Amino acid sequence: MSSEQDHLKETDTEARFEFKKEQKSSFQADKGLTEETIRVISEDKDEPEWMLQRRLRALEQFQKMPMPTDWPGQPDLSEVDVDKIVPYIRPDVEVRGGVDDWTDLPDDIKDTFDKLGIPEAEKNALSGVGAQYESEVVYQNMQERWEEKGVVFCNMDKAVQEHEDIVREYFMTKCVPPSDNKFAALHGAVWSGGSFVYVPEDVTVEMPVQAYFRMNSEGMGQFEHTLIVAEKGSEVHYIEGCSAPKYSAFNLHSGGVEVFVGEDAHVQYSTVQNWSKNTYNLNTKRAIVEKNGRMEWISGSMGSKATMLYPASILKGRGASDNHITIAFAGKGQNIDTGAKVYHNAPETKSTIESKSISKDGGRTNYRGLVHIADGAHDSSTAVECDALMFDNESTSDTMPYMEINESTVDVAHEATVGKIGDEDVFYLQSRGLDDDDAKQMIVSGFIEPITEELPIEYAVELNRLVELEMEGSLG
């Protein structure tokens, strides 16, 4: 491919994420967080009383909790002022809860997702697609063959209305209660949109389902909630994509993810996040895994000014297993603090954590993890591997693994490496005809291969292109 073709491809990929639209909305809450704001959001959604009461209790907990500041090396959150955030913007669409025909979307919203490649991805690789714009899902579709098998894939606002019994049982009660942390409480108070996935017993959804979350407005917060319930013997792969254009004011993303993996079930949750460099990404993600269930977290964190994200799994049943593969990329002005948590609460449980991080131009990456093996969780095993790659002397990368082992008959392994791109490796590739930039990109592509292998080809290609653009300083 010629250098001109390379440049055009780079420009096209950058344009997919950095464009912005004039803000249009049907309803917008005031800035800040008050009881009145919560009531207005709940009333606008026509929610049942029990959901309003859960929101108000979460607000009380948020107001009592201090901002997290005492973790060594954590990102600076002093700029995060909820009183400056617009917590809820309902986009200007005729159908509440989203349309199921792409052509029914307003032209500006349709154009946004066209540029992000959502219709093409749906056509080629997905069983179902949800697309959220600002605070609400504007499009949702599921292939009929899965609906006929009882699979439910809809937005959370619709699920509250049409699947109330399931949502009321699982929503922020057993997995991620508002009391978990300050931003979980914030999320519980102002959550909006997101995905609800229910897979009946012994049903395997053979193609992934995807949700894409787009923030378009400056100074807003996006608080989508994802709830996945996979019954006994079922299987599903959920893919989440996120992006936002760059503005001068900060944006806040504080989503919540709850996954319930039934006995002998298998859930894979893949994320490719490309938030702009003015976004604070502060999520809470957790799964509860029953007997012989299997949970997989595949995460790529490319954008944001600061990220604090630690997907967690509670291995509740005998033989439950968990696998984490994460990659983080931090450039100039970025602090990407990611990791994983696993709680072995039953015998014969197994977990693996593989973390990859890349930092350049003074960026900071950090792996922060916890593995807890409870007393009585005999014959369990865990293996943690953290690898960090730095481009220069100004960049930093740390690993902070923490292990609590309360059982003697277990197998525990940990390995960590931190290093710069080796001059000898670059020299060898240059001797084979590559220039300096291409040599470094090839080294990085090999470094992140474990995560790209786990993604459908369309998303693996996208992730590699995003890494290349980050290396070239073309994003944000």
Q: Return the ∠ at Cα 45 (arms to 41 and 51), rounded to 5°.
A: 80
389 phi/psi in degrees, rounded to 5: -125, 125
Query: Which residue has better confidence, 37 or 294?
Result: 294
- Give the total number of structural domains in the chain: 1
How large is the greatest C-alpha to C-alpha distance in the chain, in angstroms?
Answer: 69
- In this model, does residue 319 exceed pLDDT 60? yes
Query: Who contacts 40 (Cβ-Cβ below 8 Å, separation ≥6)?
Result: 29, 88
Nearest 10 degrees: CA dihedral of 298, 146, 287, 64?
Answer: 110
User: Mean pLDDT in the chain?
Assistant: 80
Which contacts of 22-25 are long-range, i.e. CB under 8 A and separated by 24 or more positions?
A: 22/108, 23/89, 23/216, 23/217, 23/218, 24/91, 24/92, 24/106, 24/108, 25/89, 25/90, 25/91, 25/92, 25/134, 25/217
Distance (Å, rounded) from C-alpha 415 to C-alpha 407? 21
Per-residue pLDDT, averaged over 128-135, amounts to 54
Q: What is the pLDDT of residues 171-201, one digit of tens each?
A: 999 999 999 999 999 999 999 888 899 999 9
Top-ranked range on mean pLDDT: pick from 69-73, 233-237, 332-336, 442-446: 233-237
Per-residue pLDDT, averaged over 133-143, amounts to 54
Question: Tell me, what DSSP letter sits at residue 76?
Answer: P
Angle between helices 436-447 and 423-431 (to 10 degrees): 120
Percent of the chain with pLDDT over 70: 68
Owner of token pair 């590739």: 429
Query: Who contacts 302 (Cβ-Cβ below 8 Å, separation ≥6)?
Result: 272, 273, 274, 275, 329, 463, 466, 467, 470, 475
Q: Which amino acid is at 285?
A: K
Angle between helices 35-44 and 49-64 (to 10 degrees): 150
Query: Who contacts 210 (Cβ-Cβ below 8 Å, separation ≥6)?
Result: 121, 122, 126, 128, 129, 130, 238, 239, 240, 241
Looking at residue 410, its pLDDT comes to: 96
H helices of 77-142, where? 107-115, 118-125
Prediction pTM value: 0.84
> CB of 151 within 8 A of CB of 243?
no
Per-residue pLDDT, averaged over 139-163, amounts to 81
**Residue 404: band (very low, low, confident or very high) from pLDDT cuts 50, 70, 90:** very high
How many other C-beta atoms lie within 10 A of the C-beta of residue 433?
Answer: 8
Q: How far is CA 348 from the centre of its chain?
A: 29
Of the candidates 128, 135, 179, 160, which has an alpha carbon nearest to the alpha carbon of residue 227? 160
Which segments within 249-293 are labelled E, that is strand?
251-253, 256-261, 266-274, 279-282, 284-289
Of the candidates 225, 240, 135, 211, which has an alpha carbon nearest to the alpha carbon of residue 173? 225
- In this model, does residue 340 exceed pLDDT 60? yes
* Domain membership of residue 84 as a residue range: 3-472
**Side-chain half-sphere CA neighbours of 212 within 13 A:** 27
Query: Which residue has better confidence, 142 or 309?
Result: 309
Distance (Å, rounded) from C-alpha 218 to C-alpha 50? 32
- Lowest-confidence range among 23-27, 108-112, 252-256, 272-276? 23-27
Q: Is 141 helix (H, G, I), strand (E, B) or coil?
A: strand
Q: Which amino acid is at 98?
A: G
Of the candidates 381, 449, 445, 388, which has an alpha carbon nearest to the alpha carbon of residue 416? 388
- In this model, does residue 13 exceed pLDDT 60? no
Distance (Å, rounded) from C-alpha 216 to C-alpha 233? 39
**Side-chain half-sphere CA neighbours of 440 within 13 A:** 18
* Core vs surface per residue 219-250: b (16+ CB within 10 A) or e: ebbbbbbbbbbbbbbbbbbbbbbbbbbbbeeb
